[in-house]
Copies of this chain bind each other. A is one copy, B any other.
Amino acid sequence: MPTKTFLKLSENKRAQIENAAIHEFAQNGLHGASVNALVEGSGIAKGSYYQYFSGMDDVFQHVLSIARQKKLALANELSSSDAREIFAYLRWLFQVEILFELREPELSSIEHHAFLENVNSRAPRDENAPLIGGPSFFNEFLAQGILADDVATWVDTKLAAHLLGAAYHLMTRQLIVRLGDSADALRSGKTDIREDPLTQSMLDNLMDLLEAGLAREPAIRKDFYSK
C-alpha cells in the first residue's frame, strides 16, 4: 500500500499520479506496464515515486482498490429493485458491470486484467477477499441460492461458480459491442439501464441461459425438451 507521504499529498497531485497509473495499467496490465511510464505520466520525479510506492505491484494494488471502490459506489447508485430473488440479483450484477465498463472503461479494464492475470498464473488464488466476481463470491452466491430454493440442489456449486465467474468477466465487453449506438445514452445516464429495451432483451437471453441451467432438475429438463 502507498506510504503515508502519498496520502498526505494534495488532491490534484494525487489524482494526477493515480490517473497516470490508471491509464498505463488499463492499457498494459500489471505485467506489461513499466515504472518509467508511470513516473513520466505522473509528471513527478522518479525518486518521489519511490517515496510514495514500494514498487509497481504496490501502485497496481492501489489502483485496483480505486477501481473496486468506484464500482461499489456505482452499485450503490444503481439500487436493485428486487435483489431477494437470486437471479434478479445476478441480472443486477451484470447491469452494474455493464455500466461500470461504459462509464469507467479504464478502471474496468484494470479489473479484467487483474482477473485474467490471476487466472493465467498457476499460483493459488487469494481466497481471503470475498470480492464481487472473485472466486469465492459466486460460490457463496450459489450456496445462498440453494438455501433460498432458487438453485437446484443437484448443482455442483464449485463448478457452477467458475462458470458464472467466467461469464461475468468475459461477457461484458461482448454485451457492450452489441449495444452499439445505444451505449452512449447509457453512458451519459440519459437512459436508465433498467429500462433500456436492448440491454434488457440481451440480459433476458443471457439470464435464461444461466437460469435454466441452474434452477432445474435435469430429469425434469429432459422431459420437457423444446423440440
A72 to B24, CA, bound (A): 38
Interface centre among A154, A160, A167, A218 (most CB of B within 10 A): A218
Question: Which residues from chain B contact A112 at a C-beta distance below 8 Å?
Answer: 120
As a 0/1 sequence over residues 193 to 212 of chain A, the CB contacts with chain B under 8 angstroms (1 = contact) are 00000000010111011111
In the assembled complex, the CB of A144 is this many whole angstroms from the nearest CB of chain B, namely 14
Q: Majority SS of interface residues in chain A?
A: helix
Number of copies: 2
Q: Which one of B169, B175, B218 lies within 8 Å of A212 (CB-CB)? A: B218
- Contact check, A170 vs B119: say whether CB atoms are below 8 A apart: yes
Q: Which one of B113, B116, B206 lies within 8 Å of A163 (CB-CB)? A: B206
Question: Which residues from chain B contact A178 at a C-beta distance below 8 Å?
Answer: 158-159
Q: Which one of B165, B204, B211, B213 lies within 8 Å of A211 (CB-CB)? A: B213
Would you call A216 an interface residue if the criterion is a C-beta within 8 Å of the partner chain's C-beta atoms?
Answer: yes
Given contact pairs A31-B31, A163-B167, A166-B166, enumerate 15 new A-B contacts (beta carbons under 8 Å): A119-B170, A149-B227, A156-B206, A158-B174, A163-B206, A166-B167, A166-B169, A204-B218, A211-B221, A212-B218, A213-B213, A215-B227, A216-B221, A216-B225, A223-B224
